[in-house]
Amino acid sequence: MRKIMSAAAALATAATAVLAMGGAAQAAPAGNSPIWGCPSGAVCIYGRGVDPAANPHPTDVYYSYGAHSLSNQVGYHYVVNNQYGGASASLCKNYGGTNCVLTIPQDYHSNYDLTPINSITLNRP
């Protein structure tokens, strides 16, 4: 029994250390669910001319904050921000997330011409 208690204490200490090193993890609030196939916590781009309500299969899914380069995205595409905690997403003309022209708030979407867009940023709240 002593070994089990010792192992449990070691596991709890290790878990606390991991959280301390990585910062607090942000959990999705209860009730968050996919929107048109876009997972909770993600920003999704759908294929050119695709209606995500009729075809809920995004072609690109982004989870991490910061800039993400886009390539071969021409014409109108739906962009869905299914992040939580107030996080937004921005569409930017330059690579690296600069010269942004549109910010999409949490739980919103846009049907936007991505031809001049070269990056998308996921923004912390």
pLDDT digits (tens, 9 = 90+) for 68-114: 999 999 999 999 999 999 999 999 999 999 999 999 999 999 999 99
Q: Would you say residue 102 lies in a domain? A: yes
Q: Would you say residue 56 lies in a domain? A: yes
Q: Residue 89: which of 58, 120, 63, 116 has the closest Cα?
A: 120
Q: Would you say residue 65 lies in a domain? A: yes
Q: Would you say residue 46 lies in a domain? A: yes
CATH of the domain at 94: 2.60.20.10
Q: Would you say residue 113 lies in a domain? A: yes
Q: Which two tokens stand for residue 94?
A: 């330059």
Quote the pTM value. Answer: 0.73
Q: Would you say residue 52 lies in a domain? A: yes
pLDDT digits (tens, 9 = 90+) for 29-43: 434 688 899 999 999
Radius of gyration for the alpha carbons in the chain, expressed in angstroms and rounded: 19
Q: What DSSP string runs through 78-119?
A: EEEEE--TT-EEEEESSTTS-SEEEEE-TT-EEEEE-TT--E
Q: Which two tokens stand for residue 15?
A: 């878990």
Q: Would you say residue 11 lies in a domain? A: no
Domain that holds residue 60: 34-123
Q: Residue 91: which of 64, 56, 60, 123 has the closest Cα?
A: 123
Number of structural domains in the chain: 1
Q: Would you say residue 101 lies in a domain? A: yes
